[in-house]
Chains A and B, each alone.
Chain A
Amino acid sequence: MKECVKNQKNEKFNTYLQVYKMQIIRSLTYKFDVYGNIIMQSIIMLASAFFWKALYAGNDSVQGVGVSDMMVYTVVSSMISVVLTTNVERRISNSVSKGTIAIDMMRPVDIYKVFFAENLAGVTTLIFQNLLPILLIGSIFIGVPVPASKEAFLLFVLSLFMSFCINWFIAVIFGMFSFKVIEMDALIQVKKHLIRLLSGSIIPVWFFPESIKNILSFLPFVYLYQLPLDIYIGKYDSASLTKGLIMQALWVVVLYLMFRFFKKKAEDKVMIQGG
C-alpha cells in the first residue's frame, strides 16, 4: 500500500479520462445500429417537418411561432435527442442481473463517475455518428437550423448542459430501480415514451392546454427539450427565461439530491445482499 502512495506522485492519473477513452474504443467496435438510428431519427424529423408545414398552411404564425422557427425546432429537437441518449439504466440493470455490480463497486473508483464518463464517451461518438448526419439531412431537406441570436445560442448551450444533467440523473435513479425489479425493459420503455410526450421533443408544449402546460412546468420533462428549444428559436423574454432557467437549475439540484439518497441506499443494499 505504501507503494501506491508513491505511485500517485510519480504519475498523474486521470482515471475517468481513461474510462472515457476506453469507452470510445468500445462504442466504435459496435457499429451496427448507427445507420438504423440515423434513418429512424431522420424519418421522425422529416415527418414532423411535413406535418407542421401542412398544419401551418396559410398561417404565418401559430402561438407566436412562425413556420420557419418550427422547422428549426424540429431539426434541433432531433439533435438534442442524440445528446440526451443514455444507456446508464441498462448499464446498471445489466450489472445487477449479471451480479457484477458488487465487483464494480469494489474497485477504488466512484462507479457513478465511471458511468458518467462512459455516457459522455457514448455521446461523443454519437455526435459524429448521428448528430452530424442528422444536421446534414435536416439542413438539406428542411433548412439550416440557425439560432435566433448569438445570445440565444449561448443560453441554449447552458440550458442544454442542465438538460443533460437532468436526463442523466433521471436515468441513473431509474437504473437503481433494478435493485427492486427484475424486468426493467418495460419500465425503461414507459419512461422513454413519457419523456417523448411530455418534454416537448415532438409536440411543443405551447400546443397543450393552459392547465396541462402549468402542471408540466413543475415537472422535470419540459426542461429536457422545451426550454432549450424555446431559447434556441428565441421564444423567450427575460421573465420567462429567468423563470425557466431557475426551474431547470432547481431540478438539477433536486434530482442530484435524490440521486445521492438512492445511491446510498443502493450501495447499502449491494453490500448487504451482494447485488
Chain B
Amino acid sequence: MRKVAYYKGCLASLSAKELDSATQALAPKVGLELIELESVTCCGAGDIHEAEPDYYLHLNARILSYAAAEGVDTLLTVCNVCTLNLRQANFMLLGDTELRARVNENLVAVGVPAYEQDVDVRHLLWEIAEGEGYELLKGAAHKGLKGLKIAPFYGCQILRPSKIQGFEDPDRPWSLERIIQACGGEPVDYPAKIKCCGFPIIQAREETALSELIQPIEQAYEAGADAIVTPCPLCHLSLDAWQSKLKKSTGRDFNMPILHLSQLVGVAAGLTESELKFKRHVVSVKPVLEKLEA
C-alpha cells in the first residue's frame, strides 16, 4: 500500500459526495492508502486565481504544506480543476525560491507550517492508467463491464495546459480508454472528448455554455455510448445536472448516464451501491446497471 495525501476538493466534499465515497472504497484495491487532509480549503477553482491571484497562491500553498506535513511525496486529487490549480501553484513555488520564501513567511505568520518538503500533485487517473496502479486495477476489475460502450470525456484541464499537466498528449490522450478496456468495456471515440463542457461559464453565460455542453453528449449518444465517464466532478456536474436544460433548449432527450472515473472502475471491481451512490445522479444510471446484471 502506498500512502498518499488525499485532497477531495469542494465538489467531492459537497454535491458530489458519491465521488468521495467511491474513491475511498476503490483506493485500497489499486494500492493506495488515502490520508485525508482535514485542515484544507477550496483550491479556488480558477475563480480565486482570477479574482485574487495572490490569495489563490497562498491557499494552494497551504494545501500543499499540509500534504507535505503528512510525510508523503504525493498529493492525490480527483478533479481536473483542483489538479491544475494545485500543480500550477506548486510549480510557481518550486521554481522560484524568493516567491516560495515570501509565501512561507505568510503561512507561518498565520500558524500554517511552511511548505518545505516538495510534493507532487497527481490525479487518480494518472495513478491507475499506468505502472503498479494499472496492474492492480486489471486484477481488481474482476466483475468487468461486459462490453459496455463507454465514452471517455477528459474535459479541459486534465490535458491543458500540457506544460503544467503533461501526463499525456493533450490532443491524443489514451489514459481513460486504457482504463475502460482494462475494465472490460469498449471505449467509444468522438471528437468532443477533449473539449470543454462549458461549466466555468454555465451561470454567467448560460447559452454559450450549453452550446458547448451539448457537443460531447450528442456525439457520445450518436456513437452509441451506454454512458460517459469523466475524471472531473465539475464536468460531471454540468454533464449530469445540466443535461435537463439541453432538453428544454433543443427538445432532445439524451438520457445519457454520466459516471465518475472512480464509479466506473468501482462497478467493474464489484463495489456496492452504498459505496458508489448512483442514486445521487440526476440522470439515472439504471440502464447501465441493468445491462451489467443481464
A binds B: no
Residues of chain B whose beta carbon lies under 8 Å from any beta carbon of chain A: none
